[in-house]
Each structure stands twice: as structure tokens, then as C-alpha cells.
A and B are shown apart, each in its own frame.
Chain A
Amino acid sequence: MWLSSVKFINCQSRQDLQQPKLASTGLIEVSLARVHLATIMKKIEAIIRHHKLDAVKEALMGAGIQGMTVAETRGYGGQHASPEVYRGAEYAVDFLPRVKVEVLVDDHECDAAVGVIAKAARTGQVGDGRIMVSKIEEVVRVRTGESGASAL
């Protein structure tokens, strides 16, 4: 049991948090560390094509990830300002419409969620979008005031 706890910490040590010292690891220290680690949350922002929104939503629900926020955005990436011809005139279309999906997940679900989104949103053409992950320090549910992982 002790060993499995230590392994748990080791596999989390990639995350840049204060890693507990293993040399003097006592059981109490381990369990405190687990509580601390359990509350790490990530925000995944994905900029995707409009017609992929439903596929991404279904895929995330299928993976057991609930809740998302969606906003309309415009942007461009590496291939910006590709000229488009409309009725004979050439236009530089640099800001293309996309949707931004934001999902909050527990740290251990993060890689799986990113994989799910990337797979569901891919067409293979230029303009499939980007996925960005950031660390969230705190989450509060407005209705109840709960914070941390229980508010996800």
C-alpha cells in the first residue's frame, strides 16, 4: 500500500508542483500529498471548426467529461491571409471564424481529454485549430460556493 502511494507521486512528478521528499516519506506525508495532488485542475481550450463542435461534444461525453463552455472566435494561424476569390475580386481572408471550446478537467483526465478532442476535431486539412492547456488554481461553483475538484 505504501509502495503504491509512492508510485502515485512519482507518476505525478512531471507536473511542476512541490514534490514531497521521498527520502523521508512517512505515511502521513504521503496522504497529505495525495490530497494536494487530487485538487489540481486543468483548463483545456480548443479552437475548432464549427461543424466539428457536435462531434467533439459527443466524444467528450462518451469519455465521461461533463460540461463545457463555447464561444465564437475569429483567428488565423500559420497559413494566414490566403487570398480568396469572390466574384472575380481577390480578398485576403485573414480572420476565419472558429469556435473555442473550454473544458475543465481533473489533472489525471487531461491527457485523455486532449486526445479525444484532437481526434474528434481533425479533418487533416489546414485550419483544424489548436488545443491549449493551462493550470487552474481554483474553481468555485457559484450556486453552492464549493471549491476545488468537487466544483468541476
Chain B
Amino acid sequence: MKKIEAVLRHYKLEDVKNALTQAGITGMTVTEVRGFGRQRGHKETYRGAEYTVDFLPKVKLEVVVPDAEAAKAIETITTVARTGQIGDGKIFVTALAEVVRIRTGETGSEAI
């Protein structure tokens, strides 16, 4: 099983959710995060003083999928979340050692 974490723009969340559901991937966890990348945010002028806005608000989406579906999920997220502008976000993939459904105690891919 793989955990796919994607840091995305807020307004893309709904589209990504729908696309993943259509691709047969259900269930996700979403967190509000702040962050920056290579660009280190941007400079903004407010009342004559210059500020660096470095921590920009983003959403982080976490999905757990069986190994076989990981590539499809990454592809879906990438296509849907892309605007082509800087700040589209990143996707990180990690291998999961174990998944347990708390209600039933099922483990492994049954629990996804």
C-alpha cells in the first residue's frame, strides 16, 4: 500500500476529490497547511513597507491506495491540480507498512 500526500491549491480540492472518486479511489484526509517552495513566496507592498509572504496557505490531501492503483492516483491528481503556474504543489509517495480499520480490526488492503 502507498500513501500519497499532495499539497494543492484550495480551489483545486473539489476537482481532485471528484476525479479521484471517479477513478474509484475513495476516502481521503485533508489538512490546512502553509508552506513555500523554491520561490520562497513573493514580496508584497502594504502601506509602503515591503513584506515577504513566504508561508502561503495550501491544502494537503492524503490518500491511501493499493500499490497497483498508485500510478493512476498520482496521474489523476497531477492532471487535475495543474494550472501551469508556480505554486501548483507537490505530490509525495511513501510505502505503508500497515493499515488497520479500527472498527473491525481488518488489516492490509482490506482496510483501505
Contact = CB atoms under 8 A, between A and B. Distances in A.
The interface size bin for chain B is 35 or more
Contact of B55 (A43, A70, A145): A70
B36 A67 contact: yes
Nearest to A137: B93
A61 B54 CA distance: 12
Contacts of B91: 138-140, 142
A69 B90 CA distance: 10
Interface residues of A, number: 24
Given A69-B35, A71-B33, A71-B60, A139 B95 contact: no
A110 interface: no
B94 A137 contact: yes
Contacts of A125: none
A68 B86 contact: no
Contacts of B95: 135, 137
A134 interface: yes
Contacts of B54: 57
A68 B31 CA distance: 15
A93 interface: no
B90 A66 contact: no
Q: Which 10 pairs of residues, A with B, have the shortest CB-CB distance? A: A69-B35, A142-B88, A143-B88, A140-B91, A138-B93, A67-B37, A71-B33, A142-B89, A137-B93, A70-B34
Interface of B: 2, 6-8, 31-38, 40, 54-55, 58, 60, 74, 77-78, 81-95
